[in-house]
Every structure is written in C-alpha cells, then in structure tokens.
Chain A
Amino acid sequence: MKKILIFTVMILAGLYRSESQTVLFHQQVKDYSVPPDNGPGLKSYSVMFVGLGLILPVSDTTAAIRIPASFYYNIGVRTKKKLTHWLSLGSDFTFAYESFSIRQEEGKMFPDTVLHKKQSVSFYGISLGPYVRITYGRHGNYLGKFVDAGVHIKCPYIGATQYSKDINDDMKTKVNIKGLKYYNIFNFSPYVRLGFNRYSFTASYRLLSMFKEEYYKKELPPLMVGFDITFN
C-alpha cells in the first residue's frame, strides 16, 4: 500500500512538473559547417522518378505503328554517386510499360496479317540503367543542368500482351493474349538524357531485336523519346 502511495505521488509530481511549462517553439541547432553526404548535389543521392514518352518510327523496315497511341511510361528510382563536382555515376532501377499500337493496313505482317479494328502489343518489365552524368554550370546542393549517357538493360521482361479489337455485325470482340513467347527476354537500349534539376528529356534506342529469330517477321520501332520528372 505504501509503495502504491509513493508511486502515485511520484506520478502526480511528474504531471505537475510537465505542466509547469508549455514549450511553444523549440529548435535544435545542428552544426552545418560539416558538409552532409546525401543530397541532390552531394556525394550520393537517390530519388524516385516517373517518365512518359512516345515510341517513334525511324524507318520503313519496322512495323507501322500509330502515334501517339504507341507510348511508354516508367517509374523507378534513380541513384547518383558524385565522383567530382562535374562527373557522377548512377543507375536507374525502373519498371517500364511499353505499348506498340499497330497500324492496320494492307501488307501488315506483325504480329499477324489479319486486319483488326485496333491492335497493340505491350511489354512490361524491369530494367537496370547505369549511366554517366556530366553536370555543367555551377551548382550547389541542386541537380543543376546535366547530360546523362547510359544503357537500359531490360532483363528480363516480366510480361507481354497482344491485344486486338474487332467489330463485326455490331458485335465487339476483344482478344487478349498473355504470356507471349516470341520475344527476347533480354534487351538493351543506350539512352541519353538532358536534364535541368527535376526535369529531363530522354531518348533511347533499342539495339537488339525484340523477337526470337524463329518468330521474327518484322521488327518493332526502336526509338523512344520522352520526358521524366524526379521527386526531389
């Protein structure tokens, strides 16, 4: 009983003490003369980004696609390690979705010769994109203006879908074929990026064929041009 009484008195004393001051404002001052390591213009930095862009035809030898219905978007994390004030190395870890909307016209060969109302082939996968960054113009703890050159290693694609839509006698038919087997699960695309702080323009060009040799009928356009934003 005595212990309980002492404990209660201590609690009440503690409450009284905590009520004796109402702190309206408190600031703990850190010594900022020591440069921090992590930040947009500092030794290392990681940031989320999203990108959106178009797939563009560059020659007649590739399958005819519709623009801007052929597009990509991606989301990922971009890391950066500063080597010097101007030179950095980094990598993108990306989930990407690419959709090729196939133009339905005479002579069409990809993915089949049948003409549909609409038809598209989509791929979604992850990629690793190491890059070299040159930052130009003086900058503080700020990404500043930069040029990146790197390679997206798209390995492996984690899925692919072939979609077609037809309207016959007022009947709509949609066909979705998943788990396509005729594409290569490994590919790589050199890319360049021209950026200003959060915003950058990107262009990439796929170097290898999208499809396995035995299924090869026609290649898909390799050039992608887009825009991305980082959340710094």
Chain B
Amino acid sequence: MNLVALDAWIIITGVLCAVAAALLGNFLVLRKMSMMGDAISHAVLPGLAAAFLLTESRSSIPMFIGAAAVGVLTAMLTEWVRNYGKVDEGASMGVVFTALFALGLVLIVRAADHVDLDPDCVLYGAIELTPLDLVTVFGWELPRAVVVLSIVLAIDLFVVLLFYKELKISSFDPNLATTLGISARLMHYLLMTLIAVTTVAAFESVGSILVVAMLIVPPAAAHLLTDRLGWMIVVSVVLGAASAVLGHLGAIWVPSLVGFGSTSTAGMMAVVAGLLFVVAVLFAPRHGLVSKVAYRALLSLRIVREDVLGILVRAEERAAATGMSASELRKATMAGAVPLGIALLQLRVSGRIVRDGGGYRLADAGRVDARNLLRSHRLWETYLSRNLSLADDHVHAPADRLEHVSHLADQLDAVLDRPSEDPHASRIPRGEA
C-alpha cells in the first residue's frame, strides 16, 4: 500500500468516525447531556476488560458487545444513582464513570498477564494503524475499521431518520413527547445505546476520549450557526468531516514547522474541531460574538443618525433655525464624538443633511425621514398616554426610545384613529413616502 492510499484510508476512517459521532452528538447537545458522551466513552475500557475476562477470548464480537453494554450500563447507573440516591446529575455521572474506569484499570492489569490490552490505545486510538488491519469484503481488501464504522454509521443514520420526529420532540420537550405517546425514556436509552455502539466502534481509531470531541464539538459549533435541527445536523456532519480531513493534514504538517515528524491524527482532529468551534463562536451569523457586536454597533449608529435628524427637524419646527453645529448636536444627542462623526458623515453622503456654514441643516431627503421619525415619536407618545395611561409629562423619554421602532407607525396611527396632535399639542406630521 503506498503512502497516498495510506493517508486516504486514514482520512476516510476519521471522516466516518466524525460523521457517525456528530450525527448523534446533536441530540446530546440539545438535551444538555453532553457530558454523558464523556461518561459513556470512559466506559469502553472496563467493558473491554470485563468482556475479555468473561469470555477469555480476544475476538472482536464479544469485546464489541461488552464495551457497548458497559456504555449503556453507565447511562443506566447514572440515571439510577440520580433517581434513587437523589444525587445531582453531574455528580452521579462523575461517580459512575470514574468508578467504572478505575475498575477497568484494575481488571486490565489483572488481565495483562494473558493479553496485551493497551489502555493507551483505548484512550488515544491508533488511527495511523487502521489501514494495516485489512479484511476482505466482496473481494475488496478494505481496512477493518472502515468496514465497521461504515456499518455503524449506516445504523446511526437509519435510526436517526426513522425516529427523527420522536428524537426531535423528546430532545426539546420530553414532557410533550410523553403526552404525545412517545416514550421519552425509550428514546433516551435508544440514543444512549447508539452512542455506546458508536463510541466503541470509534475508540479504536480516535481514542475513547477524543470520541467526545467528535460527539460534542461539531454539534456545539453547529448549534451556534443555525436554529433549525435539520440544518444543525447537516452542518455538524460537515464540520466533523472537515475536522477529520484537516486534522490528518495538520498532524503531518504542523509538527514539521517546528522540526518534528508527524503527531497524533486523533489529537489534531480534536484541535481542528476546536478551532472550527472558535470560528463559529466568533463569526456565526446570528449568535457569533463578532456579529453580535457588529449588530449592536450598527444599531447604535442608526439611532444616532435618527436622533440627529429628529433634533434638526425639531429645531426647524421651533424657529425655522438654519442649522446646528457639531458640538450642539453632540450635546443634544449625548453620543460619543466618534459615533456622531460617523453618523454625520453617513447622513451627508446619503444626502440627508448638508453643511451650512459652521453647522448642519436638513436637506430635503433628510426632512422626509425626519418627519417620519417625528411622526413615529409623537404617535408613540399618544399611544403611551392614551393606552398605557402614562402621565403626559412622562411619555417623552420612553417615546424617545420607541420612536426608532418606526415601522409600527402606520399601525399606531390606525389604532389611535389618526390623531392630529400628540399629548403636548404638537402637530403629528402625516405619513410621507
């Protein structure tokens, strides 16, 4: 097998792991049970040890069943300790999986006389070795891990598609699911069983702790990127696959920068998934930090612009004043120098205001906008006074904030029966296009 094929098989294995795990991880993240993935994956070690000690055989199938069974047992014991012992959920998980892991370590040491069970492999996986372990399927020589993971992925996909509606409802609202006749409990254990099986299939490649990275990190990132479950699953699967591909390339490339050979692909997969997560935290369209900051900045700029227009049109109304200087505007809007400067520049560029001597005054286009704002402000004042019974001398301040919600002006106008004056007897301008 040449090197390119070797790398290709490693990447395929990684992608299969990541996709199978991410598919299920979405439901864990939505159920706020992410740490259950961690608990179940730790159970692989005692599962393998127990299966070996019970069957005295090293063949794959008992091992697989043993590890998956202990995984499900972890979920059940956690539930049991929480219910009957009245222990906080996090703590009951902590008690169960550490105890099982410790038991696993002891069992493995006892078994180590007979067999090379390597906990390092269980923890970190040995994805680099997977292409060397081949089986023949339909005359094709395929890495065994690829075959196993494909089957597990197919099962996961089948169950998720079959029970999509049930999983969805029981993840968001278990009580609703129960009233609709869906057993939330059954769905819980179905999911736990799938996760145990997937973890067992994947631990050999990416290691039992890094399965957690594939279970949790891509879905967590996807949760920030979209609000729809269907899309969340798709996005998480894509992110998982991307971290597998980039992770392997990174494992070869990054250490060479500092003069070493390659490093663990599994570790780098988790690192890449983490980097993708960071990108999602920062730049997600709606929930990202940068976009939230940007949205707030744009909103506050719009408010400054509207305040400037409102102040100018009121000045005109009072005394047909010619304009106001920047410092007067700054005092009136209470905005910072920089936001005000930007707002004034934007207003001038869009032809809403013009410079006039040392100050600014409204242009015709600006006057139209300003009147609409004034209309919004005064309609809100009228509404607050009439419908919410605020005192007339108390409506200005809230209206000052609400006036920026100007798209409701026409509705307010209709509700208030087209008033012509606000509570302070100021004329309400008619709507203009």
Q: Do A and B come from one complex?
A: no
